[in-house]
Amino acid sequence: MCGIIAAASNRNVGKLLVQGLHKMEYRGYDSAGIALHQNNQIAHLRTLGKVKLLEEKMISEKPKSKLGIAHTRWATHGEPSEENAHPHKSNERVYIVHNGIIENYLDLKEFLKKEGYSFSSQTDSELIAHMLEYFLAKGNSMLDSMYLTKEKLDGAYAIAAIDKEDDKNIIIARNKSPLLIGIGTDEFLAASDPLAIAQLTNEFIFLEDGDVAELSSEEFTIYDQSKNKVEREISQIDISNQATSKGEYKHFMEKEIYEQPDAILNTIDGRVGGDDVLDNIFGIGSSEIFEKVKRIQIVACGTSLHAGRVAANWFSAIAELPTQIDYASEYRYRNPHVDEDSLLVTISQSGETADTLAALRYAKEKDYLSTLTICNVPTSSLARESDYSIFTNAGPEIGVASTKAFTTQLAALMLLSLALAKSRGKNPKLRTRVITAMRSLSDTVNETLKLKDKILEIAPAIASKDNALFLGRGIFYPIAKEGALKLKEISYIHAEAYPAGELKHGPLALIDEEMPVIALAPESEIAEKLVSNLEEVKARGGTLYVFADPSITMDLKSGQVINMPKCDFLLTPIIYTIPLQILSYEVALLRGTDIDQPRNLAKSVTVE
């Protein structure tokens, strides 16, 4: 998953293309490049590393151009290097940028080699440039060459291409990778994400799979899979600049942690009324569909999967529904049996995660009653392809480590539990109790954020270790998993999570003074059992850091207990997530890692 951007304008586009790449660095940041039409030549600049380095090269070389394409990369085929950076070119004529994966690239490479093309990169993308050139050289137009090339390609792609012989037009194509057109003033743009061009326009056209479009500074034309001219809907989206700047914070992750009280308010806003959840908040007809649901299947990845694991407990307790959960990347490969009246629920911040999208597409061929997505990006593929949806309204999340997206997913999943329960006539009193607690949730999150000073006291002890263990029980086990994921993702400390009762079945062997143990101890019916599990750690010399309800008393030999604010038990997973996010952030800060763009990762994983 990479970010692509293209512009055809009446003004110089170099700077705006690079600014767009900066906004898309969340999609990949191991190398970057640009190709600009300049006096019948192409200025072709590529750098290994972040977009800042490409920017520096641009400042020193000062290319001037009104037409260009650019790319920021997350390596799939071929290591991060200048040779593997996009744009790729063919015969000094065709230049392309690509996001996605070409699955049959080895066969196509073989074919092109036999036709006399030589390859200078290890990527799957370079062949697209050669294939376009191959068809162009046979006398086809660039548009026709793109269609002929598409016929050969298996896989996912968003492509933008320019031809040295044509300084007016850019050709773009989409299949299973996001791509949109931006309507600017005296210019047309294309990008993987509206964020990249949000400063230039608020009018976007989201291309559909199979679409090809031709852009110049004066006009654009979209063609569908069968090369018929088509009109696609124009969406007006206002993405404020403020939402994509760090403001007073050092990192986006830090800003996003502290935005959670407002983000949660935005998720709940307009969706509850009186003492219940409102009808049809997941789309017209959703309340009726929910009456019929007998089983839920969740598919998601990473943090979003952890949100699903918490929600499975809620679906059971509030809506009295059984739930099956799968990693989206595994779901299709286990020949899932679909029970009658099952609802498929996908959860995704970006709405573009390839594994989750593939799982949804697979499920749509099966006998599900309906499909529903919990998503933060209304214009995303998941949102467009699901029958029902709810948007978390968290605002753009830029830090690779998911924070506000997770807690708002939980808030939205709680709304789903309540809506299912309401449609099925289940647990009215419990629903009222939860709605009341949800109304003060944002305040409790605010109070929890004030624990920062206490967390700063324990962060150095964890930052100095190479491993950490997270423990939780029941609905807190997924939160322990989320804490471990956050810590490993941004601080590179190896961290694992276990249900505390499982310790004695193996992991207890790891306990010594080098293994900090971070435990979640809310007030619950199994609090005593959890404390006994923690005693087992203490007895073996382990250092415990416990986030605990004030009612739980523990006498620690080493470590610390941090008391948590009170909250309705069903919502406590949201509250207990907050200190784990702050802890990971502060530990990563001490270790000096690249917090917003941790090594080897990208925000939006659009490859399977």
Q: Quick check: 517 and 544 in contact, CB under 8 A?
A: yes
Closer Cβ to ligand M6R, 94 or 328, answer by number: 328
Q: CB 14 → ligand M6R: shortest distance, Å?
A: 31
Map residue 343 onto helix, strand or coil. strand
Judged by CB under 6 A, does residue 301 bind ligand M6R?
yes
Closer Cβ to ligand M6R, 356 or 417, answer by number: 356
Amino acid at 249: Y
Select the residue interacting with ligand M6R from 9, 177, 304, 389 (CB under 6 A): 304
Separation CA 449–CA 493 (nearest Å): 23
Q: Quick check: 496 and 516 in contact, CB under 8 A?
A: no
Judged by CB under 6 A, does residue 353 bind ligand M6R?
yes
Q: Quick check: 132 and 146 in contact, CB under 8 A?
A: yes
Q: CB 72 → ligand M6R: shortest distance, Å?
A: 17
Order of all β-strands in the sheet with 295-300: 323-327, 295-300, 342-348, 370-375, 388-391
Judged by CB under 6 A, does residue 489 bind ligand M6R?
yes
Tokens 């999340």, residue located: 397
Closer Cβ to ligand M6R, 402 or 533, answer by number: 402
Rounded CA Rg of the chain:
25
Closer Cβ to ligand M6R, 358 or 503, answer by number: 358
- Please give the residue whose beta carbon sits closest to ligand M6R in the complex: 302
Which residues are part of the catalytic machinery? 2, 603
Judged by CB under 6 A, does residue 350 bind ligand M6R?
yes
Q: Measured on CA atoms in the order 170, 171, 177, 181, is the torsion positive or negative?
A: positive
At residue 574, φ and ψ (nearest 5 deg) are -65, -45
Judged by CB under 6 A, does residue 605 bind ligand M6R?
yes
> Could you write out the three-class secondary structure of 203-226?
EEEECCCCCEEEECCCCEEEECCC
First to last CA, the chain: 10
Judged by CB under 6 A, does residue 478 bind ligand M6R?
no
> Could you write out the three-class secondary structure of 449-482?
HCCHHHHHHHHHHHHCCCEEEEEECHHHHHHHHH
Judged by CB under 6 A, does residue 491 bind ligand M6R?
no
Q: CB 23 → ligand M6R: shortest distance, Å?
A: 17
Interacting residues with ligand M6R between 261 and 280 (CB under 6 A): none
Say how far residue 24 (Cα) sits from the centre of its chain: 12
Q: Which stretch binds ligand M6R (CB under 6 A): 48-56, 138-146, 198-206, 398-406?
A: 398-406
Judged by CB under 6 A, does residue 423 bind ligand M6R?
no
Residue length, the chain? 608
Judged by CB under 6 A, does residue 308 bind ligand M6R?
no
Select the residue interacting with ligand M6R from 35, 67, 343, 401 (CB under 6 A): 401
Amino acid at 306: H
Binding mask 545-574 for ligand M6R (x = CB under 6 A): ------------------------------
Select the residue interacting with ligand M6R from 47, 402, 417, 584 (CB under 6 A): 402
Judged by CB under 6 A, does residue 216 bind ligand M6R?
no
Closer Cβ to ligand M6R, 217 or 379, answer by number: 379
Nearest Cα to Cα of residue 435 among 418, 420, 450: 418
Residue 548 host element (H or E): strand 543-548
Judged by CB under 6 A, does residue 586 bind ligand M6R?
no
β 155-163/166-175 pair status? antiparallel
Alpha helices in 259-353 (DSSP H): 260-268, 286-292, 302-319, 328-331
Closer Cβ to ligand M6R, 214 or 482, answer by number: 482
Judged by CB under 6 A, does residue 380 bind ligand M6R?
no
Select the residue interacting with ligand M6R from 28, 182, 302, 483 (CB under 6 A): 302
Q: Which stretch binds ligand M6R (CB under 6 A): 87-95, 141-149, 285-293, 344-352?
A: 344-352
At residue 471, φ and ψ (nearest 5 deg) are -125, 140
Judged by CB under 6 A, does residue 349 bind ligand M6R?
yes
Q: Which residues sit at the interface with ligand M6R, rule CB under 6 A?
A: 301-304, 348-350, 353, 356, 400-402, 485, 489, 604-605
